Structure 1
Amino acid sequence: MMKLLIANKNYSSWSMRPWLVLTHFEIPFQEELLLLNGEGWKEAMLARSPSGKVPVLIDGELAIVETLAIIEYLAERFAHKPIWPVDREARALARAASAEMHAGFMKLRGAAPMNLRASHPGRVALDDVADDLARVEALWGGLLERSGGPYLCGAFSAVDAMFAPLATRLRTYDLPVSDMAAEYVEAIYALPAFQSWLADALKEPWIVADDEIDVIQGRGEPETL
């Protein structure tokens, strides 16, 4: 059985993405949690991950790093499952949007870290993330108008897994979005696979100080959290 190495579910946006794909499409796998904090956590990560990062998909002797590479591997290995949209044009748009998510939205990702346990309305300076929010609206709006929703290409697919962590940021920091975007966030939260991840995240006892907004914004020291 395949194994997915992940980090803390409360914080690890990249771990969430392939986990949602595996879980939603009912692909059997085991998960192994590698903590992002505690004594020797970096050494433990390097011992299990070729890149020293997560996620990592292990299939036999093969260890695949990088979220998009993992998703593409799953899409090929389980070609009978619609991990990417079946329609060729929709699939191309989904891959383009996923690549943009992988490489972009850096200001939003930096200013509003994923933190599923938290609620921090008003803590993100809107001027800092305005361009990224505008691009999210345009990208989501175009895909949803074309597909009719509720997910970006109609049914849930890999592109929604790629954007799920960003959707949580909009809710955690109560960022201003259109009704269309808000409805899409609701659709992500309603997904059973996401609900399962969220339930686990809310039970986690660990605090990763460097991923908390107080530390990121310089309003506190790591040891005080």
Structure 2
Amino acid sequence: MKLLIGNRNYSTWSLRPWLVLRHFEIPFEDEVLQLSGAGWRETLAARSPTGKVPVLLDGDLVVPETIAIIEYLADLYPEKPIWPADRADRARARAAAAEMHSAFMGLRSNAPMNLRASHPGKVNLDAVRKDLHRVEVLWGDLLARSGGPYLFGAFTAADAMFAPLATRLRTYDLPVSDVAGRYVEAIYALPAFQDWLAQALQEPWVVDDDEIDVIQGRVAPGTIA
């Protein structure tokens, strides 16, 4: 089984199924497909049916799209608690994952994931205020039900879906409650996340489209080392 992923430093959608695979000790290998540089779009188009990452390859089966990959893994390994065991909690977890997939556009557009960086004060809070409020309510409700440290007690696919958002809160030092802050710390403490982060910090590549200083016009494209 192989997972095609984008640059670890920036690729939010790649991080999500990778965490599920690594945390639940499912044997796999990964391959990084660059999200910048000469011919990168053509390379993605040749390897991925959607022209995007991630893509899971399992024999002749090709599965694009993060949630589809996670659901395939849950079907393939029913003994692994990828989703909560309780039916009601499982429904809540899937609803939260679907909301992450389709919402939080303010945070996703104005605070791109960048694991190597620290950019306090660079995000327009008015542009992300609504999303910050919603994530506080969502996380707060689920953590109050479960007692933490993860949304349903133990780590599940719902946490994998929200891990990239958690990194945005730290990278841009966004104002959150102590409850949300502790959840961010729990994501960073996860051994699988630490593994991904260590590899991200070693990557030499820069994707200008995900660098906030380029997005906001402070530096020219191609000048970030």
Equivalent in the alignment of 2:216: 217
The aligned residue for residue 154 of structure 1 is 153
Matching of residue 206 in structure 1 with residue 188 in structure 2 = no
Name the aligned partner's letter for residue 132 of structure 2.
Answer: L
Cα distance in 1 for residues equivalent to 2:20 and 2:214: 31
Q: Which residue of 2 aligns with 1:177?
A: 176
Alignment-derived partner of residue 193 in structure 2: 194
Which consecutive unaligned segments of at least 5 residues does structure 2 have? Answer: none
Q: Work out whether 1:4 is the aligned partner of 2:19.
A: no
Deviation at residue 210 of structure 1 after TM alignment: 1.2
Tell me which residue corresponds to 1:67.
66
CA deviation vs aligned residue, 1:140-193 (integer Å, no higher than 9, x gap): 000000001000001000000000000000000000000000000000000000
2:148 pairs with 1:143: no
* 1:40-51 map, 5 Å: 40-51=39-50
1:133 matched residue in structure 2: 132
Tell me by how many angstroms 1:221 deviates. Answer: 2.3
Distance 2:57 2:105 in 1: 28
Deviation at 1:223, TM superposition (A): 2.4
User: Secondary structure at the residue paired with 1:156?
Assistant: coil
The 5 A counterparts of 1:26-175 are 26-175=25-174
Instruction: Report deviation, 1:23.
Output: 0.1
TM-score (norm 2): 0.98
Number of residue pairs the alignment of both structures matches: 224
Distance 2:222 2:2 in 1: 33
Q: Distance in 1 between matches of 2:15 and 2:131?
A: 21
Structure 2 counterpart SS, 1:120: coil
**Which whole-Å CA distance do the structure 2 matches of 1:38 and 1:216 have between them?**
17
- Give me the whole-angstrom Cα distance separating, in 2, the residues matched to 1:173 and 1:69: 30
Give, in angstroms, the shift of residue 215 of structure 1: 1.5
In structure 1, the partner of 2:17 is 18
Q: Residue 38 of structure 1: CA displacement?
A: 1.4
State the secondary structure of the residue aligned to 1:63: strand
TM superposition shift of 1:219? 2.4
Cα shift at 1:12: 0.2
Deviation at 1:220, TM superposition (A): 2.6
Give structure 1 stretches of 5+ with no counterpart: none
> Identity of paired residues, percent?
73
Following TM superposition, by how much is the alpha carbon of 1:218 offset from its aligned partner in structure 2, in angstroms?
2.5
Rounded Cα–Cα distance in structure 1 between residues aligned with 2:94 and 2:43: 33
The two structures have a TM-score, normalised by structure 1, of 0.98
Distance in 1 (CA, whole Å) between partners of 2:127 and 2:72 is 35
Q: Which amino acid aligns with 1:160?
A: D
- Separation in structure 2 between the aligned mates of residue 100 and residue 153 of structure 1, nearest angstrom: 16
Once superposed, which parts of structure 1, at least 4 consecutive aligned residues long, lie more than 2 Å away? 218-221
Distance apart, 1:10 and its partner CA: 0.2
Q: Secondary structure at the match of 2:222?
A: helix
